[in-house]
């Protein structure tokens, strides 16, 4: 028996056309919000002379991770500046920060929803699996057709790719709060909201932070991929170096990304420990 090929690809394209046609204004709105956000963060990072920004970030690193992280931030960022990659690095950082902030703003509430409703979790978990395993390149295309080329589809793709850990670990963190503690909160007459904010979120916080940390790392890993659809930044330097087979330039730009990655990772990992000191 010869079963004809399912027109799955064609259906997805139809859906894409239909969405572009009827939800154009919505996409335009999202475009201007995200675009404005990225530009805002970028301006904030490049408005002051690079040396001042480096010192500010170093101070932050010192406050969160003591002299070790402070020293790393100082040397690493000076290196980026010295290589002439400061501007593009800050563009990339703006992209990462914008997508991470949005991913957290969207992901934490969804994670809470998953933790509180088994039904929601059963629907959302396979969607997350899908988002994480589908190659990131594949949803660059619809993102481009909805939001045109540039940084915005890059942010969207980064959010889709990077949001699952935040959702998963928020859900996990809340579910891991021991039964007895939840009973105790209930037994003293907490409302669901009081239970969430006074008990579940504070106790889940380290787990949620681990999720946020992963989200930031994943969105950083999207920097190069985003550059393929026109997002500016240090990712574009890597992409160009690779396509032109310039090993040295590729190494320099790659090193800038590594410095940013380590810095973001250590900062988010240690931010919770401050409170306990």
Binding site for other proteins (CB under 8 A): 178, 180-181, 183-191, 194, 198-199, 202-203
Smallest separation (angstroms) from other proteins to the CB of 194: 5
Helical axes 86-116 vs 234-243, angle rounded to 10°? 110
Smallest separation (angstroms) from other proteins to the CB of 172: 18
How far apart CA 240 and CA 230 sit, in angstroms, is: 12
How far apart CA 204 and CA 3 sit, in angstroms, is: 50
Smallest separation (angstroms) from other proteins to the CB of 264: 26
| C-alpha distances out from residue 251 to 39, 79, 86, 234, 237, Å | 27, 13, 15, 11, 10
Q: Which is nearer to other proteins, 10 or 198 (by Cβ)?
A: 198
List, in sequence order, the alpha helices (H) in 83-150: 86-116, 118-133, 136-147
Q: Which is nearer to other proteins, 54 or 199 (by Cβ)?
A: 199
Q: Which is nearer to other proteins, 20 or 194 (by Cβ)?
A: 194
Q: Which is nearer to other proteins, 83 or 205 (by Cβ)?
A: 205
Smallest separation (angstroms) from other proteins to the CB of 109: 21
How far apart CA 255 and CA 222 sit, in angstroms, is: 15
Residues 6 or more apart whose Cβ sits within 8 Å of residue 233: 88, 89, 91, 92, 94, 95, 223, 226, 227
Q: Which is nearer to other proteins, 5 or 119 (by Cβ)?
A: 119
Q: Is 237 helix (H, G, I), strand (E, B) or coil?
A: helix
Smallest separation (angstroms) from other proteins to the CB of 186: 6
Q: Which is nearer to other proteins, 68 or 198 (by Cβ)?
A: 198
Smallest separation (angstroms) from other proteins to the CB of 175: 17
The values of phi and psi at residue 65, to 5°, are: -120, 20
């Amino acid at each position: 028996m010869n079963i004809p090929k399912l027109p799955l690809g064609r259906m997805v394209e139809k859906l894409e056309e239909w969405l572009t046609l009827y939800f154009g204004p919505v996409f335009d709105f999202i475009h201007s919000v995200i675009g404005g956000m990225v530009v805002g963060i970028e301006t904030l990072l490049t408005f002051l002379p690079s040396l001042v920004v480096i010192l500010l970030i170093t101070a932050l690193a010192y406050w969160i991770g003591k002299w070790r992280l402070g020293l790393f931030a100082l040397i690493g960022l000076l290196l980026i500046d010295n290589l002439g990659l400061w501007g593009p690095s800050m563009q990339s950082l703006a992209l990462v920060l914008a997508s991470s902030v949005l991913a957290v703003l969207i992901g934490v509430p969804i994670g809470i929803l998953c933790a509180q409703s088994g039904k929601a979790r059963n629907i959302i978990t396979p969607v997350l699996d899908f988002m994480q395993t589908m190659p990131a390149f594949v949803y660059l295309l619809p993102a481009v057709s909805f939001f045109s080329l540039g940084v915005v589809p890059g942010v969207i793709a980064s959010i889709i790719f990077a949001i699952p850990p935040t959702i998963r670990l928020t859900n996990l963190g809340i579910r891991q709060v021991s039964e007895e503690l939840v009973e105790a909160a209930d037994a003293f007459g907490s409302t669901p909201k009081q239970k969430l904010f006074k008990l579940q979120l504070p106790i889940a916080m380290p787990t949620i932070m681990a999720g946020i940390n992963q989200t930031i790392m994943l969105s950083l890993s999207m920097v190069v991929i985003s550059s393929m659809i026109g997002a500016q930044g240090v990712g574009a330097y890597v992409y160009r170096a690779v396509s032109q087979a310039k090993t040295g330039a590729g190494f320099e730009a790659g090193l800038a990304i590594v410095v940013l990655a380590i810095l973001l990772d250590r900062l988010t990992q240690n931010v919770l420990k401050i409170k306990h000191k």
